[in-house]
């Protein structure tokens, strides 16, 4: 791209991507390029537009369950004049992504919590918010189940997760758990990847959010 792409957003649509996208983009090898990428849980699309900006991907499809987020992506597409390089769908997981679409790369920064603690002071603020919440990992289960249908052979999937090795997530300054996971999320995601017939490639720490949450990139591949 000759000029950096502008990503439009609203505070209530930002799920950390304005900071986290760079961590995911830096994860890729310098010479890594793909033709078609999909951003799951895109919100305003920082990761997807970043893939275009860095010329990692030639074309990006964005998907999010929230129509307002996809409206925002559409406005960014128009603003930057990249209509021929993008598609955007209101879609719970892959539900509305056309079946003929396949991707060389799938990325995402999905909700990272499965069981918010009702005793936590932020619970009432966050319990109805789609950005942090995936109760019972229902969205993750559906996503990994359908992922093989949309990944090209040899295609990669790299998903950001907050503290996937911890059953309890405590976020200072509060000292009571924010999320209480029945199992370590990494164990659940590895099993979902295995059940989908995909190859688990690893879980690498890519950075920290505001110095309090460790962020990891979980990668799997379709052989
Ligand atoms: C943590 S926020 C991340 C948003 C954006 N990617 C970012 O990094 O700022 C999670 C996003 O997932 C979306 N989301 C939640 N459940 C979803 C589902 N089942 N399918 C698609 N998107 C979903 C939310 O609307 C929200 O935009």
Q: At residue 175, what are phi and psi to the nearest 5 degrees? A: -110, 10
Locate 95 and state its tokens. 């539900």
Q: Which of 65, 58, 59, 78 is nearest to 8 (CA)?
A: 78
Q: Which strand (E) or helix (H) includes residue 215?
A: strand 213-221
Q: Looking at ligand 1, which residue's alpha carbon is closest to its atom 8? A: 17
Distance between alpha carbon 126 and the CA centroid of its chain, in Å? 18
Report residue 2's pLDDT band, with 50, 70 and 90 as the boundaries: confident
Please state the pTM of the whole predicted model: 0.97
The rounded mean pLDDT for the chain is 97
Q: Is 1 a residue whose pLDDT tops 80?
A: no
Q: Which of 180, 179, 198 is nearest to 189 (CA)?
A: 198
Q: Looking at ligand 1, which residue's alpha carbon is closest to its atom 20? A: 92
Q: Are 187 and 135 in contact (CB under 8 A)?
A: no
* Per-residue pLDDT tens over the stretch 13-54: 999 999 999 999 999 999 999 999 999 999 999 999 999 999
Centre of ligand 1 from the C-alpha of residue 142, in Å: 14
**Cα–Cα distance between 57 and 35 in angstroms, integer?**
5
Segment 83-106 mean pLDDT: 97
**Cα–Cα distance between 43 and 39 in angstroms, integer?**
9
Q: Looking at ligand 1, which residue's alpha carbon is closest to its atom 6? A: 42
Atom of ligand 1 nearest to the CA of 63: 21
- For the stretch 129-156, what's the b/e string if a residue is b when 16 or more beta carbons lie within 10 angstroms of its beta carbon? ebbbbbeebebbbbbbeebeebbeeebb
Domain spans, the chain: 11-113+137-163+184-221
Assign a CATH topology to domain 11-113+137-163+184-221: Rossmann fold (3.40.50)
Q: Looking at ligand 1, which residue's alpha carbon is closest to its atom 15? A: 130
Centre of ligand 1 from the C-alpha of residue 65, in Å: 7
Cis peptide, bond prior to residue 173, ω within 30 of zero:
yes
Per-residue model confidence (pLDDT) at position 210: 85
**Cα–Cα distance between 198 and 136 in angstroms, integer?**
22
Ligand 1 pocket test, candidate residues 110, 139, 179, most atoms within 8 A of CB: 110
Strand partners, 213: 209
Per-residue model confidence (pLDDT) at position 66: 98
Atom of ligand 1 nearest to the CA of 9: 9
Centre of ligand 1 from the C-alpha of residue 109, in Å: 7
């Amino acid at each position: 791209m000759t000029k950096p792409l502008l990503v439009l957003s609203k505070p209530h649509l930002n799920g950390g991507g304005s900071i986290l996208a760079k961590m995911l983009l830096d994860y890729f090898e310098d010479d890594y390029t793909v033709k078609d990428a999909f951003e799951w849980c895109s919100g305003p699309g920082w990761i997807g537009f970043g893939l275009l900006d860095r010329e990692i991907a030639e074309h990006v499809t964005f998907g999010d369950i929230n129509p307002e987020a996809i409206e925002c992506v559409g406005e960014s597409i128009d603003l930057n004049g990249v209509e021929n390089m993008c598609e955007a769908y209101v879609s719970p997981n892959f539900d509305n992504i056309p079946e003929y679409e396949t991707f060389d790369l799938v990325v995402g920064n999905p909700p990272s919590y499965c069981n918010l603690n009702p005793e936590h002071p932020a619970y009432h603020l966050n319990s109805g918010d789609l950005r942090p919440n995936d109760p019972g990992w229902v969205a993750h289960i559906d996503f990994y189940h359908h992922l093989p249908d949309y990944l090209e052979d040899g295609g990669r999937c790299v998903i950001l997760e907050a503290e996937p090795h911890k059953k309890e997530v405590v976020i200072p300054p509060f000292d009571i758990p924010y999320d209480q996971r029945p199992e370590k999320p990494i164990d659940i995601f590895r099993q979902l990847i295995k059940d989908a017939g995909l190859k688990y490639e690893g879980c690498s720490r890519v950075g920290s959010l505001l110095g309090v949450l460790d962020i990891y990139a979980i990668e799997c591949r379709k052989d």
